[in-house]
Amino acid sequence: MSDSPSGKTVVLGVTGSIAAYKAADLASRLVKRGHEVRVVMTKDAQEFITPLTLQVLSRHPVTADLYDEKQSWHPGHIDLADRADLLVVAPATANLIAKFAHGIADDALGAIHLATLAPVLIAPAMNGKMWEHPATRANVETLLGRGVSFIGPEEGLLACGYEGVGRLWPIEGIEAKIEEMLAAKG
């Protein structure tokens, strides 16, 4: 599992939400705690934050494509799946939740999810109507039934201008939940 000398390996998935910029703070906090942070970004996430930002903060190359397989013969997504002590997706869109619930592996993050034996933590961020939609609720229930953990979302003013549930849980709270899950893992 972890190759990090003082901490654990956290694979941090970042999806295409306006809250993607908050992943930079989360990555930085986890590195300061001594964890090895490996960032995996969806194509849509790159519309909100650059891979370079997360590469500098995590101190590792960012996986942004399923075909970023240039370092060795071993497929990168399998290597990350094997290294992970915890897979965290923050922020997680309705699209990502649906893909995980249905086992869709058409990008690096989906493939890592299917290949890892590590615990999974999802921090949703989306429009409140999307969060409350029966399809999203069913997908969340499916993932909960498989042992996936969720934190949030919280209520407040959303980027779309609506008030409601859908905001990314505060980074400090996500960080605390990550530490709790890593401590429980041993």
- Catalytic residue numbers? 160
C-alpha span between 2 and 106 (Å, rounded): 26
- Strand ranges (E), the chain: 9-14, 36-41, 86-92, 120-124, 149-150, 154-157, 163-167
Burial 47-78 (b: 16+ CB within 10 A, else e): ebbebebbbebbeeebbbbbebbeeeeebbbe
Is residue 76 within 8 A of residue 60, CB to CB? The reply is no
